[in-house]
Chains A and B, each alone.
Chain A
């Protein structure tokens, strides 16, 4: 009896696998999008700062001002867009959009510098992109600081206190360390929730779900049968993303790989429970998609700390972010992979994820069986 049940269950699993593998577009979504996304994030949306157009309004035009400008250009952060002659031109250049900042040297700049006075440089930025404006100012300042140091060293008045910055966990300051964990949390959430909810609602629409429901399988078995292939696929996907992160972007795995994989499974189960829950509520594929996209994708991108720091958000949004599973998964990933932390550190997040999974699964199964009863 038990064996018959298992056989039936397995045939359901096999059926689901066949569905997924035969649909090329689904496969494209499953494996193409994660890879594309990782690469786009890695190469395009990284926060590397370079090629920013700047112009110079040099009222002094002496050795010092010229050297500072050539130092700026040699840094690789900036792209020289020509000299300006007067204040009026600043507005014009900003409007054309090619120049993001103008460096203004006051007259007598070099002479004042040599005589130990405080000559002035003004950085005028196009702050229509405030973030960029801020970054430009701090980079230019850094370079000017370095120039002063050099000038000082040349006169034998070197620095007494030298800064010795050391970047821990990410010595080369690769932006991949930020986005790989985030992308992984996003992709897994989407694949699991979006695909399961769509696949269940599609069966609802086609009426094939009814056929399965009248079979002697237990509802829990039906859910498991639907979900098992996706656990497998999502797991493979997670591994692919980890591998890409490692090979292409040099992301380490300092902590225990076993713990990492266990957390991966936990998160996948959570996302799948969410998908099932959505499918019990949504009546059509269209609404399942809308719910998945608006309720899952946007919040994951915006509120989970993936791109924008949670600390900066208004309190209400911080609360909203507290109920988002990706937020905790991202912390866990960073802790285990980049910092080498173990369960001793990540247990609170793990507990939260586990609690959410149990709760969601409970509601999903309950809703599913109620639907059956009606």
Chain B
């Protein structure tokens, strides 16, 4: 026990003296928090659109008026030829060209079907789908009005218009920041634990100090615990900084139990640290460790569901995510913070995480060799 304390004290003194460590721990989270949270805004912006009105009748103007009054659209102007419209799309100066065919008004009066063309820039497929769906929706309304007028004249009856409303729970204003802050916390806590720790261990290898420790009677578990605990504490502090910032600056709620959050974070950190130790045990130089880490960190972050829902990923991604600690924590921290989920809602993740943590630490202890 005393040996472990001696090692932990040494680690803390070194961390305190490291000129990169403290800024990396305090500045990086601040910057990441602010930049990421503000930049990672996927909310749909206004759709820039241009109109190619080949008709110019009262009816076509009525239709245009409907689009102009919609809050989702921002009107860019008129185009007079097809080429002009295509050129605008090509130069990225508009998102959509709406083409109203000649004789549009006439055909409507004669009750002949007529098509309105939407040319949509499809490069950003997600945005294009939304653009198309909004545009169709408005057109449907327009139809509805036409038909209602017509029915009023003829006195016939037809199916009604379904009134679809929506209610967004937990985040009625769809504030993207509230969603991103917990996600970034997950990444931050991981970076401190995993990256700094594995770099630290390999640095001792490079400097040869680890060899000096290896000829002493230190036991493997003492060495490992001596490394784990300081970084574990740092990770928890990091969580504290992040949560405070998130709360004060971005008004992220903490609906669930704080104890549960701490408990899960503790487990998550242990697992991540185990990962870091394992990679450090298998690498010889800082460069190698950085490269291998870089690879795993990238894959884990992208697959964790920080930006895109895990449900939409292919099946094999779900299997990979079984060994992705970030995926568990990403899901659970959002559930606890934003939805107030309790232990009964997350116990499966809790159990998987605990099991996973034990496996990782065991592997790490085993792969750390006191002799070659």
User: Which residues on A are within 8 Å of B, measured CB to CB?
Assistant: 25-26, 28-29, 32-33, 36-37, 40-41, 43-53, 79, 90, 94-97, 100, 112-135, 137-142, 144-145, 147-149, 151-152, 155, 157-171, 173-175, 177-178, 198, 202, 285-287, 289-290, 293-294, 298-299, 302-303, 307-309, 311-314, 317, 331, 334-335, 338-341, 345
CB-CB under 8 A for A148 and B161, given A45-B302, A47-B308, A298-B35: yes
Q: Indicate if the CB atoms of B120 and A25 lie closer than 8 Å.
A: no
In the assembled complex, how far is the CB of residue A77 from the closest CB belonging to chain B, in whole angstroms?
9
Q: Indicate if the CB atoms of B41 and A313 lie closer than 8 Å.
A: yes
Q: List 13 A-B contacts (CB under 8 A).
A: A33-B294, A43-B314, A44-B303, A116-B151, A122-B165, A128-B179, A130-B179, A149-B140, A160-B113, A163-B115, A168-B120, A173-B129, A341-B90
Q: Indicate if the CB atoms of A162 and B116 lie closer than 8 Å.
A: yes
Instruction: Give me the 9 closest cross-chain CB pairs, A-B, nearest first.
Output: A167-B122, A170-B122, A127-B168, A130-B174, A47-B126, A128-B338, A173-B125, A127-B171, A123-B166
Q: Indicate if the CB atoms of B158 and A145 lie closer than 8 Å.
A: no
Of chain A, the residue at the smallest CB distance from B126 is A47
Complex Cα distance A45/B314, Å?
Answer: 10
Q: Is B69 an interface residue (CB 8 A)?
A: no
CB-CB under 8 A for A167 and B139, given A114-B159, A160-B113, A294-B28: no
Q: Indicate if the CB atoms of B334 and A168 lie closer than 8 Å.
A: no
Q: Indicate if the CB atoms of A95 and B341 lie closer than 8 Å.
A: yes
Q: Indicate if the CB atoms of B171 and A308 lie closer than 8 Å.
A: no
**Chain B hits for A135, CB < 8 A:** 126, 130
Q: Is B223 an interface residue (CB 8 A)?
A: no
In the assembled complex, how far is the CB of residue A367 from the closest CB belonging to chain B, in whole angstroms?
21
**Out of B40, B86, B108, which one reaches A168, CB within 8 Å?**
B86
Q: Indicate if the CB atoms of B38 and A313 lie closer than 8 Å.
A: yes
Complex Cα distance A72/B334, Å?
Answer: 27
Q: A118-B161, A165-B117 are in contact. List 12 more A-B contacts (CB 8 A).
A: A44-B317, A95-B341, A118-B162, A127-B168, A129-B179, A130-B168, A130-B178, A134-B44, A145-B140, A294-B28, A309-B42, A334-B123
CB-CB under 8 A for A131 and B43, given A161-B142, A173-B122: yes
Of chain B, the residue at the smallest CB distance from A97 is B335
Q: Indicate if the CB atoms of B292 and A25 lie closer than 8 Å.
A: yes
Of chain A, the residue at the smallest CB distance from B172 is A127
Of chain A, the residue at the smallest CB distance from B91 is A345
CB-CB under 8 A for A303 and B165, given A36-B299, A118-B160, A164-B117: no
Q: Is B287 an interface residue (CB 8 A)?
A: yes
Q: Is B222 an interface residue (CB 8 A)?
A: no
Q: Indicate if the CB atoms of B166 and A116 lie closer than 8 Å.
A: no
In the assembled complex, how far is the CB of residue A315 from the closest CB belonging to chain B, in whole angstroms?
10
**Chain A hits for B286, CB < 8 A:** 285-286, 289
**Out of A112, A161, A175, which one reaches B143, CB within 8 Å?**
A161
Of chain A, the residue at the smallest CB distance from B305 is A129
In the assembled complex, how far is the CB of residue A16 from the closest CB belonging to chain B, in whole angstroms?
16
**Chain A hits for B119, CB < 8 A:** 166, 168
CB-CB under 8 A for A169 and B122, given A138-B133, A161-B114: yes
Complex Cα distance A117/B41, Å?
Answer: 39
In the assembled complex, how far is the CB of residue B220 from the closest CB belonging to chain A, in whole angstroms?
26
Of chain B, the residue at the smallest CB distance from A26 is B291
Of chain A, the residue at the smallest CB distance from B159 is A151
**Out of B45, B147, B162, B311, which one reaches A79, CB within 8 Å?**
B311
0/1 per residue, B93-123, Cβ < 8 Å to A? 0000000000000001001111111111111
In the assembled complex, how far is the CB of residue B68 from the closest CB belonging to chain A, in whole angstroms?
17
Of chain B, the residue at the smallest CB distance from A91 is B169
Q: Indicate if the CB atoms of A52 and B309 lie closer than 8 Å.
A: yes
Q: Indicate if the CB atoms of B20 and A286 lie closer than 8 Å.
A: yes
Complex Cα distance A290/B128, Å?
Answer: 37
Q: Is B89 an interface residue (CB 8 A)?
A: yes
Q: Indicate if the CB atoms of A159 and B113 lie closer than 8 Å.
A: yes
Interface size on B, residues (CB 8 A): 106
CB-CB under 8 A for A302 and B118, given A41-B302, A345-B90: no
Complex Cα distance A163/B151, Å?
Answer: 22
Q: Indicate if the CB atoms of B41 and A308 lie closer than 8 Å.
A: yes
Q: Is B54 an interface residue (CB 8 A)?
A: no
Complex Cα distance A288/B134, Å?
Answer: 47
Complex Cα distance A119/B287, Å?
Answer: 64
Complex Cα distance A345/B87, Å?
Answer: 10
Q: Indicate if the CB atoms of A302 and B170 lie closer than 8 Å.
A: no
Q: Indicate if the CB atoms of B136 and A145 lie closer than 8 Å.
A: yes
Q: Indicate if the CB atoms of B136 and A164 lie closer than 8 Å.
A: no
Q: Indicate if the CB atoms of A161 and B146 lie closer than 8 Å.
A: yes
CB-CB under 8 A for A178 and B124, given A52-B312, A289-B290: yes
Complex Cα distance A155/B176, Å?
Answer: 43
Which residues of B in the span 27-44 have a Cβ within 8 Å of any Cβ on A?
Answer: 28, 32, 35-36, 38-44
Q: Indicate if the CB atoms of A163 and B125 lie closer than 8 Å.
A: no
Of chain B, the residue at the smallest CB distance from A293 is B294
Q: Indicate if the CB atoms of B157 and A115 lie closer than 8 Å.
A: yes
In the assembled complex, how far is the CB of residue A50 from the closest CB belonging to chain B, in whole angstroms?
5
**Chain A hits for B114, CB < 8 A:** 160-162
In the assembled complex, how far is the CB of residue B261 from the closest CB belonging to chain A, in whole angstroms?
15
CB-CB under 8 A for A113 and B176, given A53-B311, A312-B45: no
**Chain A hits for B218, CB < 8 A:** none
**Chain B hits for A95, CB < 8 A:** 335, 339-342, 345
In the assembled complex, how far is the CB of residue B5 from the closest CB belonging to chain A, in whole angstroms?
28
Complex Cα distance A119/B165, Å?
Answer: 11
**Chain A hits for B137, CB < 8 A:** 141-142, 145
**Out of B32, B115, B169, B307, which one reaches A94, CB within 8 Å?**
B169
Complex Cα distance A166/B120, Å?
Answer: 6
Q: Is B313 an interface residue (CB 8 A)?
A: yes
**Chain B hits for A148, CB < 8 A:** 140, 159, 161-162
Complex Cα distance A289/B131, Å?
Answer: 41
**Chain A hits for B290, CB < 8 A:** 289
Q: Indicate if the CB atoms of A97 and B341 lie closer than 8 Å.
A: yes
Complex Cα distance A351/B33, Å?
Answer: 33
Q: Is B132 an interface residue (CB 8 A)?
A: yes
